[in-house]
C-alpha cells in the first residue's frame, strides 16, 4: 500500500554535487582560517616584518634589519648586513653591484666599514667621478648559501648590473647548514619550504608559542652566551670525506647552481671568488685521526717542518691538508675551491683567484697572520687586496661602469683609494677587541678557560675606552662614533673630528644632518676649504638653503662671482628671508656689476633687519654707483 512506502524525500541520499560541495567546503575551512589569521596578524602588526627591502628614506631602499629572522629562530642577536642603501627606482646611467657573502664578505672584524665592497666602491668612485655607482653588500655573519639563494630573487628584482659572490666558509655551520644548531637536515625542498613559510606572520606566531612553552619547560634555562660562531656549531665533528662533509658540498653546489641559473636567465653577470684561509699560523681546531687520514695536528707539525727547511711547495700542500683534516669545519676545504672553479667554468662566470693571490703576497707563498686576523677573516689590507682582485676581474671581463674613467695608473689609483678610505683608529681598535673576544671562546679555547672581559682588555686612552664601551655595553656603532667625534671637537682637534665624522658619513651617506653639523663646526673656525668639500657632498645628496648659502658665500670669498650668484639665488628660493644670503647676494651682484639687482637685494635685507651689520654702508655704496652713472 502507498501508506506503507517510505517517504521518498527522507530516503533520498545527497546528490553527488552536494557531496562534492560539502567536501570542498571542508577542504577550504583550514586555508580560509589561516588566511583570516594571517590577515589579522598583519593588520595588527604582530611580530616583525621579514620583507627583503624596507625604506631607508622616501626614495632609498635598504636590506631589512630583521631579515635574519627568516634564518635564525633559536639564537639571540640576529646578524644584520652592513646596511648599504640604494635608489628605490634605478636612475638612468646608474651602475649597480650587489655583493653576496658571509662574515668575510661583510668585512668582519672591521664591520661595517672595512669590507672589500667598500674598498671597491671607493675605487670606482675615484675612477668614475661622473657615474652614479651603487655597491650594495648583503653579506651577513653565520649565513650560508641557503640565505644567498633565498635573497637572490629579490636581488634580481633590483636590476643589478653585476653580482659578486664570496661565500662558502659557513656551509656547514651557517644557518640551516647540515652541522648547524639552526638546521632542518639536508633536504633542500624542506628547507626552501621552511624559508617560504617563515615570511608569514602565522609562522612567527607558532614559533613564538613553541619557544614560550619550551622556556617554561626548561624552567629558566641559562641565557645564551659566547660568540655567534661558538653557538652555531652543533654537529661539531665533520671528518673529511664523511657523509656530512659530502652533504655540505652538495648543499653549496645546489644553491649556487640555482643562483647562477637565475642570473643567467636574466643575463646578469656574476663573478665568483675562491676562498682563502689562514694556513700557516692557525692550527687545526679539533684534531682526530680517522681510518683513512692521520690527525690534523700531526700534519700541521709536518708542514712547519717543511717550512723550516724552506720546502715551500711541500709545506703548502701539508698546511692545506691539515686544514682539511680539521674536523671542525670553520674553514673551507680545497674541494670547495675546486667546486667554485668548476661552477665558474660551467656557467662561464669569472672566478677571482683570491686564495692564490693571498698566498702569492705571503712569505714563502703561504698565507698566515700577515693577511689574516684569525682563522679566515682578512686584515684591512687583505680586504683592500680582495677589492683590487674583483676590480681586475671586472676590468678583464669588461664589466666596469659604462662611463668615461679618469686617466689614472694603477699605482696612483691604489694610492688615492688608500688615502681617501674612511677608517680611523677607533674602528681599528674595535676590530682588535672583536678578535680578542672571539679567541676567548670555543673553539679557540675551552669554555672553562674563558676570561672575563676586564682581564682581557685594559684600555689605555679615551679611544680604547670608547671601543670597549661599544662591545661591553652594547652601544650602537653610530653612538660611539659620534661620541668620539664630539670628544675631538671639545678638544679642538678639528682634523680628527672631521676624519671621525667622515666615517659616519660614509656609513650613513643620506643623513644630511651629519654634513651640516661638520660644515657648521668647520665654518666656525674658518676652515673654509674643508667645509666647502663637505657642503659639495651634502648638496649632491640633497640640495637646500644651507648648502647653497655657504657654497655661495665661500665662492664669493674666492672671487668666483658667477657661481656665487647662482648658489645664493638658489638658497634664497628655499629661504627668502635669510638676511645673510641677501647681504652676500647684494655683494655678488655688485661684483658682477648688476647694481640694480644689488640694490634690490640689500634693500630686502634691511627691510627684514634694519640693523644688519654693514648693510647700510653697502647700500650707500651701491646707490652712489647708480647715481654716478
Residue 311 banded pLDDT, cuts 50, 70, 90: very high
pLDDT of residue 46: 65
pLDDT of residue 3: 46
Report whether pLDDT(15) > 80.
Answer: no
CB 139 within 8 A of CB 105: yes
Which three three-digit cell numbers place residue 381? 689590507
Query: What pTM did the predictor assign?
Result: 0.88
294 or 213: which carries more pLDDT confidence?
294
CB 97 within 8 A of CB 390: no
For 453-486, the pLDDT digits (tens) are 888 999 999 999 999 999 988 789 999 999 999 9
Using DSSP's 3-state secondary structure scheme, residue 106 falls into helix
pLDDT of residue 182: 62
For 79-97, the pLDDT digits (tens) are 999 999 999 999 999 999 9
For 438-452, what is the mean pLDDT?
89
The Cα–Cα gap between 353 and 214 comes to 47
The Cα–Cα gap between 304 and 468 comes to 36
The Cα–Cα gap between 73 and 209 comes to 12
C-alpha distances out from residue 515 to 48, 62, 369, 417, 530, Å: 32, 21, 38, 21, 11
Residue 132 banded pLDDT, cuts 50, 70, 90: very high
Number of Cβ within a 10 Å radius of residue 165: 28
Residue 10 banded pLDDT, cuts 50, 70, 90: very low
The Cα–Cα gap between 466 and 426 comes to 8
Q: Class assignment of domain 425-627?
A: mainly alpha
The Cα–Cα gap between 169 and 145 comes to 10
CB 366 within 8 A of CB 307: yes
Report whether pLDDT(216) > 90.
Answer: no
Sheet with 60-63: list strands edge to edge. 53-55, 60-63, 85-87
Using DSSP's 3-state secondary structure scheme, residue 98 falls into strand
According to DSSP, residue 349 is labeled: -
Can you say how many angstroms the Cα of residue 335 is from the centroid of all Cα atoms in its chain?
28
The Cα–Cα gap between 191 and 184 comes to 6
Beta strands in 51-198 (DSSP E): 53-55, 60-63, 85-87, 95-101, 133-137, 162-166
Average pLDDT, the chain: 90
pLDDT of residue 179: 81
User: Which residues are CB-neighbours of 320 under 8 A, at least 6 positions away?
Assistant: 279, 334
Report whether pLDDT(221) > 50.
Answer: no
For 416-426, the pLDDT digits (tens) are 999 999 999 99
For 102-131, the pLDDT digits (tens) are 999 999 999 999 999 999 999 999 999 989
Helices (H) and strands (E) in the chain, counts: 27, 8
Which three three-digit cell numbers place residue 190? 624542506
- Parse the chain into domains and list their residue ranges: 79-186+223-286+330-420, 287-325, 425-627
The Cα–Cα gap between 583 and 552 comes to 12
Beta strands in 351-502 (DSSP E): 351-352
Rg of the Cα trace of the chain? 31
Can you say how many angstroms the Cα of residue 101 is from the centroid of all Cα atoms in its chain?
10
Please name the fold of domain 79-186+223-286+330-420: Rossmann fold (3.40.50)
Can you say how many angstroms the Cα of residue 536 is from the centroid of all Cα atoms in its chain?
25
pLDDT of residue 178: 85
Amino acid at each position: 500500500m502507498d501508506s506503507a512506502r517510505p517517504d521518498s524525500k527522507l530516503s533520498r541520499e545527497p546528490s553527488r554535487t552536494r557531496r562534492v560541495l560539502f567536501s570542498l567546503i571542508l577542504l577550504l575551512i583550514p586555508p580560509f582560517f589561516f588566511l583570516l589569521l594571517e590577515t589579522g596578524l598583519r593588520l595588527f602588526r604582530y611580530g616583525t616584518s621579514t620583507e627583503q627591502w624596507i625604506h631607508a628614506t622616501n626614495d632609498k631602499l635598504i636590506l631589512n634589519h630583521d631579515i635574519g629572522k627568516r634564518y635564525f629562530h633559536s639564537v639571540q642577536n640576529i646578524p644584520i648586513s652592513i646596511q648599504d642603501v640604494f635608489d628605490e627606482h634605478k636612475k638612468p646611467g646608474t651602475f649597480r653591484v650587489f655583493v653576496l657573502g658571509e662574515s668575510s664578505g661583510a668585512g668582519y672584524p672591521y664591520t661595517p666599514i672595512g669590507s672589500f665592497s667598500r674598498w671597491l666602491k671607493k675605487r670606482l668612485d675615484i675612477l668614475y667621478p661622473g657615474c652614479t655607482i651603487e655597491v650594495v653588500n648583503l653579506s651577513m655573519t653565520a649565513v650560508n648559501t641557503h640565505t644567498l639563494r633565498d635573497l637572490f630573487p629579490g636581488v634580481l628584482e633590483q636590476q643589478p648590473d653585476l653580482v659578486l659572490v664570496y661565500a662558502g666558509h659557513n656551509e656547514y655551520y651557517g644557518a640551516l647548514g647540515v652541522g648547524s644548531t639552526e638546521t632542518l637536515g639536508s633536504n633542500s625542498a624542506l628547507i626552501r619550504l621552511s624559508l617560504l613559510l617563515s615570511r608569514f606572520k602565522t609562522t612567527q606566531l607558532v614559533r613564538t608559542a613553541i619557544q614560550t612553552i619550551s622556556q617554561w619547560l626548561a624552567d629558566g634555562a641559562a641565557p645564551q652566551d659566547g660568540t655567534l660562531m661558538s653557538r652555531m656549531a652543533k654537529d661539531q665533528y665533520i671528518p673529511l670525506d664523511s657523509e656530512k662533509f659530502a652533504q655540505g658540498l652538495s648543499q653549496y653546489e645546489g644553491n649556487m647552481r640555482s643562483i647562477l641559473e637565475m642570473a643567467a636567465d636574466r643575463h646578469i653577470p656574476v663573478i665568483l671568488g675562491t676562498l682563502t684561509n689562514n694556513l700557516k699560523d692557525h692550527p687545526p681546531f679539533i684534531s682526530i685521526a680517522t681510518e683513512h687520514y692521520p690527525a690534523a695536528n700531526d700534519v700541521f707539525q709536518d708542514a712547519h717542518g717543511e717550512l723550516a727547511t724552506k720546502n715551500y711547495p711541500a709545506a703548502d700542500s701539508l698546511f692545506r691538508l691539515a686544514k682539511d683534516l680539521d674536523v671542525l669545519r670553520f674553514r673551507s676545504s680545497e674541494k670547495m675551491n675546486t667546486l667554485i672553479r668548476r661552477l665558474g667554468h660551467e656557467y662561464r662566470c669569472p672566478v677571482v683567484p683570491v686564495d692564490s693571490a693571498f698566498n702569492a703576497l705571503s712569505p714563502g707563498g703561504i698565507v698566515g697572520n700577515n693577511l689574516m686576523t684569525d682563522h679566515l677573516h682578512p686584515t684591512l689590507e687583505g680586504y683592500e687586496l680582495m677589492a683590487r682582485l674583483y676590480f681586475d676581474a671586472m676590468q678583464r671581463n669588461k664589466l666596469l661602469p659604462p662611463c668615461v674613467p679618469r686617466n689614472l695608473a694603477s699605482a696612483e689609483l691604489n694610492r688615492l683609494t688608500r688615502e681617501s678610505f674612511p677608517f680611523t683608529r677607533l674602528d681599528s681598535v674595535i676590530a682588535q677587541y672583536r678578535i680578542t673576544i672571539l679567541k676567548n671562546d670555543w673553539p679557540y679555547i675551552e669554555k672553562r678557560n674563558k676570561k672575563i672581559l676586564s682581564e682581557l682588555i685594559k684600555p689605555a686612552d679615551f679611544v680604547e675606552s670608547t671601543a670597549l664601551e661599544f662591545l661591553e655595553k652594547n652601544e650602537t656603532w653610530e653612538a660611539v662614533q659620534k661620541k668620539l667625534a664630539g670628544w675631538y671637537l671639545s678638544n679642538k682637534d678639528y682634523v680628527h673630528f672631521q676624519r671621525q665624522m667622515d666615517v659616519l658619513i660614509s656609513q650613513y651617506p643620506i643623513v644630511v644632518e651629519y654634513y651640516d653639523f661638520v660644515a657648521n663646526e668647520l665654518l666656525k673656525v674658518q676652515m673654509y676649504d674643508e667645509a666647502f668639500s663637505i657642503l659639495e657632498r651634502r648638496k649632491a645628496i640633497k640640495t637646500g638653503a644651507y648648502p647653497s648659502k655657504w657654497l655661495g658665500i665661500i665662492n664669493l670669498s674666492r672671487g668666483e662671482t658667477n657661481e656665487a650668484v647662482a648658489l645664493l639665488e638658489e638658497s634664497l628660493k628655499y629661504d627668502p628671508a635669510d638676511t645673510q644670503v641677501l647681504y652676500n647676494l647684494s655683494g655678488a651682484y655688485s661684483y658682477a656689476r648688476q647694481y640694480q639687482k644689488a640694490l634690490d637685494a640689500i634693500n630686502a635685507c634691511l627691510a627684514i633687519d634694519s640693523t644688519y651689520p654693514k648693510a647700510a654702508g653697502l647700500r650707500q655704496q651701491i646707490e652712489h654707483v647708480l647715481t654716478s652713472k
